[in-house]
A and B are shown apart, each in its own frame.
Chain A
Amino acid sequence: MTLTKTDVLAWLRNIATVLAENKTYLTELDAAIGDADHGINMDRGFQRVMSQLPTVEDKDIGTILKTTGMALLSSVGGAGGPLYGTFFMRMGMAVAGKEELSPEDVHTMLAAGLDGVMQRGKAEVGDKTMVDTLAPAIRTLGNALTAGHHFDDALDRMVAAAEEGMKSTIPLVARKGRASYLGDRSAGHQDPGATSSYLILAALRDTLKADE
């Protein structure tokens, strides 16, 4: 089982749909511990991505993902813009020139994206950010593949870890980003960025499931 270029395009479209559906939800989460714009920003960003996809649809996966990153960088703003922009651009660089990705390629790609996010934002697991979703999820995917699990199964495990990571942010006190200004008052709320990261990873699994 592989991730084809068609799958990648479908993944991006799915992300756009899911983020549009969750625009209010993500914004409400951000209202509690941030500035009430995360859903609006992400939705605007993926609308821009959708408008630019037609220009790169016949290019390789690397170019498609790099273009996605550039579109996010120039349309999302806030903390989400540079972080998700970097995430997709680094993923694109990791799979430059490819038309199809093996399960291992998918892991390498996601890990490169996470690296970029951590370099730019300097957040660690436990800081109550998107890293709390991405890091354990991508590590779980890598471990599952190494252990010989089927790609399908490995993706399910990745999404389960992503969900757990997302929920792990609820009791945490934020140490990075806008939510950190609330001190202890940030505890008890789920992090908006951790939630959008979960939706993005879940969309990847759902895209492949729908494909079968």
Chain B
Amino acid sequence: MKKLINKVENVVRESLEGMALAHSDLIRVHFDPTFVYRANAPVANKVAVISGGGSGHEPMHGGFVGVGMLDAACPGEVFTSPTPDQMLEAARTVNSGAGVLYIVKNYTGDVMNFEMAAELAASEGIPVQNILIDDDVAVKDSLYTAGRRGVGTTVLAEKIVGAAAEEGRDLKALADLCRRVNINGRSMGMALTSCTVPAKGSPTFELGDDEMEIGIGIHGEPGRERMPLKSADEITEMLALAIIEDEAYTRTVREFDMEKGTWIEVELTDPPFQPGDNVLAFVNSMGGTPVSELYIVYRKLHEICEKKGLRIVRNLVGAYITSLEMQGVSITLLRMDDEMIRLWDAPVNTPALRWGAGSTAALSQPLA
């Protein structure tokens, strides 16, 4: 293993310490339990948006803490979901009284840890809701699997819901919006190489020089199918068509019923894409793929969307949800309505995503 680290045990901590120093204007980092939080939290009258997950996906989620996005992020060990005590302490720290929305990627570990955190927060009187992101079309059915994984749409949901929270929307409205973003977003990823978890020291899977893995998640787990390496255009077409031609996807998810204080099952359906849809096109590096190659993918994706009658109204190209140093790419398409576009354009000021942000102070004023 060749990595720019000191001691394997200190990877997560030292990285967070550096991040806190680099972005002291935007964020603070708390240790034991570990979470990143917005420097001026809690923001009066504002619902706090919190996410979290294993480390190794940087800049997600810690890099999205700041104005107009997340109030806190809970990083776990590399590729391991964080624990309920982190999520609870983060909620206590950033809750203004308006409550907490947990944005949870659909992985068994993340789901169960966030469920236990929500139970603990609710028992302390903190209004709380968990909304799942499950957008990975590489997972075909929800009956015989743990359901679609949460991938690229997570980044987009954190931005859009974060902007709405900044405008002073209440917890229920934010939960509805987050659910809406989720059912309109679809993703698929692929890997050219594996990646090495520092604590393990060797690659999670072996991939030949002439092979690729299609339908990977974001944890260096092997995907659905291994096949001979193809050209960028062919790979882009494979991913894009899997997304665009994906049929309606229906599953039941568990959400917290705040009045009853229990978990309820909610059935959700993702409507398929239609010609005429406005979409945000997100081309994401798995960590080790250079930006130049991402644009080669974007070029083809643009052509396919045009052919399919999808209008790309916004885009995001870069490394935002990664698997350590893995080479590979994921594509996310999000169907956008006017409100989602407006919230996407709203100012954001975080370590990893920043636009339109003039004065931080002015932005943190809650709207009446």
Contact = CB atoms under 8 A, between A and B. Distances in A.
B139 A73 contact: no
B113 interface: yes
Interface in B87-114: 107-109, 112-113
Interface residues of A, number: 33
Contacts of A177: 108, 146
Contacts of B217: 181
Contacts of B107: 178
A178 B136 CA distance: 13
B82 A77 contact: yes
Given A35-B79, A74-B33, A77-B80, A40 B199 contact: yes
A178 B219 contact: yes
Interface in A35-63: 35-37, 40-41, 44
Interface in A64-100: 73-83, 85
Nearest to A41: B80
Contacts of B84: 73-74, 82
Which of B139, B146, B199 neighbours the largest number of chain A CB atoms within 10 Å of its CB? B146
Nearest to A174: B145
Nearest to A39: B200
Interface stretch (B220-228, B293-301, B303-311): B220-228
Contacts of A190: none
B77 A120 contact: no
A185 B225 CA distance: 9
Contact of A121 (B54, B80, B108): B108
Given A37-B199, A40-B200, A78 B80 contact: yes
A45 B58 CA distance: 24
B282 to A, nearest CB: 21
Contact of A35 (B113, B116, B146, B220): B220
Given A36-B220, A78-B81, A121 B112 contact: yes
A37 B112 contact: no
Q: Is the interface of B mostly helix, strand, loop or mixed?
A: loop
Contacts of B204: 31, 35-36
Contact of A182 (B76, B82, B116, B222): B222
Nearest to B196: A36
Q: Is the interface of A mostly helix, strand, loop or mixed?
A: helix
B144 interface: yes
Nearest to B146: A180
Interface string B51-76: 00010000000000000000000001
Nearest to B148: A181
A37 B108 CA distance: 14
Contact of B139 (A83, A121, A181): A181
A140 interface: no
Contacts of B139: 181
B34 to A, nearest CB: 11
B124 to A, nearest CB: 16
B85 A73 contact: yes
Contacts of A182: 221-222, 224
A175 B146 CA distance: 7
Interface of B: 33, 54, 76-85, 107-109, 112-113, 115-116, 138-139, 144-146, 149, 197, 199-200, 204-205, 217, 219-224
Given A37-B77, A40-B80, 20 more contacts: A35-B80, A35-B197, A37-B200, A40-B199, A73-B116, A75-B83, A77-B54, A77-B83, A77-B109, A79-B109, A79-B112, A80-B109, A81-B83, A82-B112, A82-B115, A121-B112, A176-B146, A178-B219, A185-B222, A185-B224
13 contacts: A37-B77, A40-B199, A77-B80, A77-B81, A78-B76, A78-B81, A177-B108, A178-B146, A181-B145, A181-B146, A181-B223, A182-B222, A182-B224
Interface of A: 27, 31, 34-37, 40-41, 44, 73-83, 85, 120-121, 173, 175-178, 180-183, 185
Closest CB pairs A-B (n = 7): A82-B112, A78-B109, A180-B145, A79-B109, A77-B80, A35-B219, A74-B85
